[in-house]
């Protein structure tokens, strides 16, 4: 079961996204700010990080930069999430080391289609495993 780390300071967004991903079969970890997100990524080595970019203190760009500098976490794909549909945000996210980018409000189908480029879809991988 792919392990997803959500780094998001907004409680409503965090709870809604974690609930919807758990329902899809993902194992979900949550962190509420950049520091906690880095610590949890180092400790839990998730298969994918969903990184809100606007976080208090340590923002998502800087948190991603640190994850990508750390040999233990640099292989973990990071999908940046931002409410800012500003042109230039995507480039800033990619420059910080993010592997993908998506905008809020979350369109779950669109986000899942980006996630499965990096991690297995738990709904189909279960079937494949039982065939093997
Ligand atoms: Mn935020």
- Give the pLDDT confidence of 44-85 residue by residue, as tens digits: 999 999 999 999 989 999 999 999 999 999 999 999 998 766
Q: Is residue 96 part of a domain?
A: yes
The Å distance, Cα 75 to ligand 1 centre, comes to 24
Please give the tally of structural domains in the chain.
Answer: 1
Residue 55's CATH number: 3.40.50.2300
Q: Is the pTM of this model over 0.95?
A: no
Going by C-alpha positions, the residue among 77, 72, 80, 70 that lies closest to residue 101 is: 80
The DSSP letter of residue 75 is T
Q: Is residue 126 part of a domain?
A: no
Q: Is residue 128 part of a domain?
A: no
Ion ligand 1 nearby residues (CB, 5 A): 9, 52, 54
Tens of pLDDT, residue by residue over 72-129, are 999 999 999 987 666 788 889 999 999 999 998 999 999 999 999 999 999 887 555 4
The Å distance, Cα 125 to ligand 1 centre, comes to 32
Print the domain residue range for 26: 3-117
């Amino acid at each position: 079961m792919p392990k997803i780390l959500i780094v998001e300071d907004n409680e409503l967004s965090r709870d809604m996204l974690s609930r919807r991903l758990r329902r899809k079969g993902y194992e979900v970890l949550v962190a509420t700010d950049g520091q906690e997100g880095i610590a949890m990524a180092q400790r839990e080595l998730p298969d994918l990080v969903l990184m809100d970019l606007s976080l208090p203190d340590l923002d998502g760009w800087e948190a991603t930069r640190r994850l990508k500098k750390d040999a233990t976490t640099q292989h973990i794909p990071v999908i940046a999430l931002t409410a800012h549909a500003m042109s230039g945000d995507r480039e800033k996210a990619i420059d910080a080391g993010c592997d993908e980018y998506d905008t809020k409000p979350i369109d779950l189908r669109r986000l899942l289609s980006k996630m499965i480029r990096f991690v297995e879809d738990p709904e189909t991988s279960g079937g494949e495993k039982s065939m093997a």
